[in-house]
Amino acid sequence: MSDVTIDDSAAGAIASAQDEVADERLVYQGVFQRLFIRPEVGATLAAASIWIFFWAVSGPFGLTGGASTILDVSSTLGIMAVAVSMLMIGGEFDLSAGAATGALGIVTLLLVRDITGDMGGAGLSLWVALPLSFIVAMGLGWFNGTMVNRTSLPSFIVTLGSFFIIVGAKLGFAKLLVDQIQVGKLDDLAIAADDRGGDKGYAFFDRIFGAEWDRNSHIWEARDAFYTIAIVAGLVLLFVGLHELYFRRRKERGLVSLAGVLPGVAVLIAGILILHNTDDTGGNALGAAVIGAAMLVGSVGLCAMRYSRHPGIGSLGSSAPMLKALGAGVVAVALAVVAALSFDPAVDEDITFLVTEQGLRAILFVGLSMIGAVLLLVGQSRARSISRLTGSVVLALIGIGVAAMAFFIRAESASPKFRGQVFSIMLAVAAAIVVWSIATTLFEERRFIDARADRFGQSVAIAGILAMVVGVTIRMLWVTQVELDRGIPPAKFSVRIIWFFVFTAACTWVLARTKFGSWVFAVGGNKDAARQIGVPAARTKTQLFMLVSGAAWLVGVLLAFRLNTIQANTGDGEEFEYIIAAVVGGTMLTGGYGSTFGAAIGAVIMAMAIQGLPSSRWNSDWRFVFLGAILLLSVIANNYIRSKAEAIR
């Protein structure tokens, strides 16, 4: 960040002076608009809402155990979804990807399986078998890609062919070679190690592909302190970054002016200490109030030091569309309140085939409140277009409404989850909304592109998000003795989650930053143009198919180390789940547009649906209804976002 400090203010002044006259045909887009046109943002918001929904209606879902299961399920799905989304951005499909995961696991198992035991198996060491099966995977991808390129047939048809070939071959070879429809067992290698004098690399590779982290055997007493520090630091950074992106910097101000946030941070620490030292709900309210004050002090302090005041705030006004949206929002929230009041909090019985009484109550309340919140926000944006003051007043009223709802929830709910956590979080959100409404009334929004401020604000905000991720990770990976004594259910994190994260990060980097990534977008967006200009279109597509089959190899090996035995039908039909995850994550079915990060989020959404339904005591047969609905909703939402994106940019 040194380049920002060097004469930051002077350069900023010159830059902004230029920027304001630069191009009259470019309308400046505020930070929120620019955020929402990114393909992965919709998916991230959807993931957050779905998580909140299941967290509210289900007991075990929100615990660390639930999170580890979601991550576990999403990791293999996600590795494939990320690879498939790259292929889809490149304009092709691979219907054989699901069946290939099982097939490549089986190939690996057949290669290591002992000849001496039952029938079949090559009895190779894993050191040889893994590279060999990887070569098979590359061959499969090369075959798919070359067939698509040479025949110019739609990849849908070509890979449908290879799908059936793989399905048949899996069954045929399994029966032929081992006389069963399943192939195993990998851990025989370890068991038979003594007879043979060596486990053929099993112990080594089991650490890479099969290791697990058992949370309950990792005790760290200082965990909560680190967690709190990380979360607070993250929130402060995010807060500062948001201000930097949103407000217009006063020309003479350098980095020192960021210190304006410090008094707020001091008050914030006081608020957190209050929260820490009290456990009852009264203390929560006091802590939340102090944290709210901290935000106010921090925000106004920062703005006063760094950003320019707004010359005029306009006068109050109203319009029919605004009142309509706000009215509808209030009605929805009121319905939510009525729905909540019409159930008895003390009763918790199964009332229908699907839900318990409290579950239904939570669904109605959370669902209606969310609808109300969206309508109110629509109303707020309409109010803001009338005048700054109107927007701010409406926003502040919404904030006060959120606070009122928080107290309502505390009074009406029986569960400690709602009385404690939901109450405090909602109060904090209410405080943030009110503070934001005050800050945006008094200080001026930046209405021109300032590359320096954008870069600085983005870096700070991303640092904040990373700090929070670190905090949550610390909390998920370690336990404290107190928790153990209370009998916290165990949670295990598999190494496959790391594979998932690393693979997603690598693919995202490749797509955004490398030649190959550019070519992927190009062959998907306009293949003929790409070829005319010298992009090796056929080679790029073949490499994409090989990426997908390489991912299938990874997933197959992960499955083999997890299950030891692989069924002949493993993975069959899952290719559609990969495609759904990619589409949910904002990837366009017609190619040329999309996001690998979004696909990873899409996989998490699907894993939540798969896990959330049974843990909310719903029969998991319903998950396909849920998945179908998510697919349709997200396609509509993504289409809308993209049309906005194209209109804006």
Partner 1 sequence: MSDTPLLELEDIGKFYGNIIALQGVTTEVQAGKVTCVLGDNGAGKSTFIKILAGVHQHDAGEFRLEGKPVTFDSPRQALDNGIAAVYQDLAMVPLMSVWRNFFLGAEPTKGVWPLQWIDKAKAKAIAKEEMAKMGIDIRDTEQAVGTLSGGERQSVAIARAVYFGAKVLILDEPTSALGVKQSGVVLRYIVEAAKRGLGVIFITHNPRHAYPVGDRFLILNRGESMGNFAKDEITIDELTQLMAGGAELEELQDELKRAISGDD
Interacting residues toward partner 1 by CB under 8 A: 22-23, 26, 449, 509, 513-515, 518-519, 521-522, 525-526, 528-535, 592-593, 646, 649
In terms of CB distance, is 24 or 280 closer to partner 1?
A: 24
* 180 vs 526, beta carbon nearer partner 1: 526
- Whichever of 60 and 525 has its CB closer to partner 1, that residue is 525
Q: Which amino acid appears at position 412 of this protein?
A: E
- What is the smallest separation between the CB atom of 590 and partner 1, expressed in angstroms? 10
Return the SS3 of 310.
Answer: coil
With residue 114 as reference, give the H or E element that holds it: none
Comparing CB distances to partner 1, the nearer of 333 and 523 is 523
Residue 508 vs 567, nearer CB to partner 1:
508
Rank residues 282 and 534 by Cβ distance to partner 1 and give the closer one: 534
What are 391-398's contacts with CB under 8 Å, separation 24+?
Answer: 391/437, 391/440, 392/313, 392/437, 392/438, 392/440, 392/441, 393/316, 393/437, 394/322, 394/326, 395/433, 395/434, 395/436, 395/437, 395/440, 396/433, 396/434, 396/437, 396/438, 398/433
Decide whether 25 or 486 has the Cβ nearer to partner 1: 25
Please classify residue 18 by burial: count the beta carbons closer than 10 Å to its beta carbon, then call 0-12 exposed, 13-18 middle and 19+ buried: exposed
Nearest distance from C-beta of residue 229 to partner 1, angstroms: 34
Q: How many CA atoms lie within 13 A of 44 on its CB side?
A: 11
Between 509 and 622, CB nearer to partner 1: 509
Strand partners, 350: 356
Q: How far is the CB of 329 from partner 1 (least distance, A)?
A: 34
CB 521 → partner 1: shortest distance, Å?
5
Nearer to partner 1, 106 or 546 (CB): 546
Q: Considering the complex, what minimum distance in angstroms separates the CB of residue 517 from partner 1?
A: 8
| Closest distance of CB 557 from partner 1, Å | 22
Cα–Cα distance measured from residue 190 to residue 162, given in angstroms and rounded to the nearest whole number: 34
Query: Measured from the CB atom, is 29 or 569 closer to partner 1?
Result: 29
Rg (CA), the chain: 28
CB of 615 to partner 1, least distance (A): 40
541 prior amide bond cis, ω within 30: no
Task: List, in order, residues 6 or more apart from 343 with CB less than 8 Å away.
Answer: 357, 358, 360, 361
In whole angstroms, how close is the CB of 629 to partner 1 at the nearest point?
Answer: 28
Contacts of 514 (CB under 8 A, 6+ apart): none
Contacts of residue 240, Cβ cutoff 8 Å, sequence gap at least 6: 258, 261, 302, 460, 464
Identify whether the C-beta of residue 244 lies closer than 8 Å to the C-beta of residue 446: no
Distance of CA 250 to the CA centre of its chain: 35
Least distance (Å) from partner 1 to the CB of residue 515?
5
Residues 6+ apart with CB under 8 A from 425: none
- The answer to whether 164 and 584 have CB atoms below 8 angstroms apart is no
Closest contact distance (angstroms) between CB of 541 and partner 1 is 15
Give the shortest CB-537-to-partner 1 separation in angstroms.
Answer: 10
CB of 32 to partner 1, least distance (A): 18
Residue pair 508/596 in contact by the 8 Å Cβ criterion: yes
Nearer to partner 1, 531 or 562 (CB): 531
What's the token pair of residue 500?
Answer: 């998932």
- The angle, 0 to 180 degrees and rounded to 10, between the axes of the packed helices 64-89 and 537-563 is 160
| Burial label, 173 (beta-carbon count in 10 A; 0-12, 13-18, 19+) | middle
Nearer to partner 1 by Cβ, of 174 and 530: the residue is 530
